[in-house]
Amino acid sequence: MTLNKNNNGQNKYIDYTSFSNGGNHLWSKGTVNNGLRKYVDYCNANGITNTISHANVWAWEGSKQTGATPMLYKYQQLPLMSSFANIGQANFWHNLTNILSGFTINLVPKHLRPDQIYTGLNPRSNETISDSRRIHQLIFHESGHYSHASKVGASYWAQLFASEISNIHLHGGDPYYDGTSPSLQAGARIGLAEGWATVTEFYVSNSYYNSSIIRSNTGSSRQHMSNVNGILEGFNIIDRPMNATRTDEWSWFSHGLIVDILDTGRNNGTADQSVHRNGSGAFLNTVLDEVSIQSGSIYNLGPVFSRLTSSVNSAADLKNPLMSAYPAQSSKINTLFQNYGY
């Protein structure tokens, strides 16, 4: 008997027809599984020591295209999260499930609660061709959150996720708002976490597919990795509260800073294309990036991930651990953070 992917007991072929007809929930779940496997392989090769294992993952097909990483199975801390969010457990659960899925889902037992939720897994989002890349990009973002949560622990993640649910509750479904809600400290933690997840989203997508969908000031589109890197190298860091429209290239999230930490830097005394702006988008200063701490693969995220400890609650908090780890570049690291407004 000849073994192939359909009869070896390890793989299953799941046909995909058209999402408009429904019935592709098995394809959606299989695509999520494959994306998680890709993320684990990336972690093992690129310095992310806390990867995904024994997670409860919920997934739906559809068009909503959203994800979340509440870690409610690994940490089982719904009461703590609802306390931090200052809303009852029932309201917290409703905001989590209804906003994401569009369904009213009754509170389930602890052993069934999700670490990750993927809703509206539509491979045509922002594109005309149906494939797995868009879904995997979302998975790589949320899996970056999972690694971060696994490293920093239950209390840290409860505060972070509760802050985003609180914002959803207070600000019409927006988990991030302007970077100052539900407090300046909470906003700083959100900016760090979302920036890290945005970096994993782009780096892992680019490593597998040489492209990513990126939301720039001209709209959302799939771009070759060289164009994505160019957009991120021209990042605009916006002060909080941010009144301008947030995109992947204009944001108060930390991904522009992390990219500058990980890239090779200019090392010639001239500013790069990154710009620091006030909350309304007005120019403040250019960014001088002469930091070069990367070694080995350009996709190695270890130099930053290893510093994402439970005591690092903002992008600014990354500075001292990096200066301690790379003392020969401490002055350049300090200058980079100052140029970003930290």
State how many domains the chain has. 1
Domain annotation covers residue 124: yes
Spatial distance between the Cα atoms of 254 and 274, rounded to a whole number of angstroms: 13
Q: Containing H/E element for 213?
A: strand 211-216
| Residue 38 falls inside a structural domain | yes
Range of the domain at 302: 25-339
Could you tell me if residue 81 is inside a domain?
yes
Domain-located, residue 17: no
Is 5 inside a domain boundary? no
Q: Per the domain annotation, does 233 fall within a domain?
A: yes
Domain presence at residue 201? yes
Sign of CA dihedral 135, 138, 144, 150: negative
Is residue 19, in this structure, part of any structural domain at all?
Answer: no
Token code pair at residue 303: 């130099």
What is the distance, to the nearest Å, from the Cα of residue 280 to the centroid of all Cα atoms in its chain? 24
Name the residue type at position 272: D
The SS3 of residue 275 is strand
What is the residue-level pLDDT of the chain in tens, covering all 342 positions?
Answer: 344 555 555 666 666 655 555 557 788 888 899 999 999 999 999 999 999 999 999 988 766 778 999 999 999 888 888 888 887 788 888 777 776 666 666 788 889 999 999 986 666 666 666 678 988 999 999 999 999 999 999 999 999 999 998 998 889 889 999 999 999 999 999 999 999 999 999 999 999 999 999 999 888 999 999 999 999 999 999 999 999 999 999 999 999 999 999 998 766 666 778 999 999 999 999 999 999 898 778 999 999 999 999 999 999 999 999 999 999 999 999 999 999 999
